[in-house]
Amino acid sequence: MQTDLDSTKAPETIPDRRRHPRYRFSIPITIHSVDGGVMRGISIEISGSGISAITADSLKVNDTVELEPILASKVQALVRHNIGRVYGFEFLNLTVEQAQRISDRCKCLPRYQGTSLGI
């Protein structure tokens, strides 16, 4: 039996607060930590302002790292958050050329539609 309350329920969605849309992007990357450590990872998605990746090693939120290769170059990034071994990185100090390469590549990638990685 359906009640009036059932028919008026709004779907539960969480608004996406990101500055740029995210796109599927999976490549092996190298992460250089501030203490000189080098670790391997694999990216999950990318946007004009950052990238997410999985790594078996631990990173600290708010640390600055260097990621490579991000579209044929090294980029500085800030570790913004993590869930388990999934880390979100915000790009820092991108050159105009790097920002343009990322933007151009995103136009060719499938859009990530979810609000979480579901991992």
pLDDT tens-place values along the chain, 119 residues long: 554 544 445 445 444 555 789 999 999 999 999 889 999 999 999 999 999 999 999 999 999 999 999 988 999 999 999 999 999 999 999 999 999 999 999 999 999 876 555 54
DSSP string, 11-67: P-------SS--EE---EEEEE-TTS-EEEEEEEEE-SSEEEEEESS---TT-EEEE
Residue whose pair of structure tokens reads 């570790």 in the numeric block? 79
pTM listed for this prediction: 0.80
* CA atoms of 50 and 115, how far apart (whole Å): 16
